[in-house]
């Protein structure tokens, strides 16, 4: 089994400052960029890889892509702390 070094832990504030998913990093050890994603419940801020969504980072769901993108741009969204 190959050994991979785990990334240095980041606080929620540090993850947001770097625009990476806190839950993706905390639970999977993956530094993934935050982006707007869509599910049946609406748009949300999360992370994804080539296979699809990895983590839902925002507590909120948004009614439109524009609203979610605006929240991501302004930082006006709440970080989920548990998956």
What does the pLDDT look like over 17-26, one tens digit per residue? Answer: 899 999 999 9
54 vs 74: CA distance, rounded Å? 22
Tell me, what's the pLDDT at 8?
A: 54
Adjacent-strand bridge partners of 74: none
For residue 42, what are the contacts with CB-CB under 8 A and spacing of at least 6?
Answer: 61, 62, 63
Evaluate whether residue 3 is within a structural domain: no
The reported pTM is: 0.86
Adjacent-strand bridge partners of 80: none
Query: What is the tally of structural domains in the chain?
Result: 1
Evaluate whether residue 4 is within a structural domain: no
| Domain interval for residue 20 | 12-74
Evaluate whether residue 81 is within a structural domain: no
- pLDDT tens, position by position, 63-77: 999 999 999 999 999
């Amino acid at each position: 089994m190959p050994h991979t070094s785990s990334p240095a832990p980041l606080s929620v504030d540090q993850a947001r400052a770097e625009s990476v998913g806190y839950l993706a990093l905390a639970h999977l050890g993956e530094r993934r960029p935050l982006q707007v994603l869509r599910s049946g419940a609406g748009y949300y801020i999360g992370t994804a890889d080539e296979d699809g969504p990895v983590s839902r980072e925002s507590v909120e769901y948004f009614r439109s892509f524009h609203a979610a993108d605006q929240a991501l741009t302004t930082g006006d969204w709440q970080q989920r702390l548990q998956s």
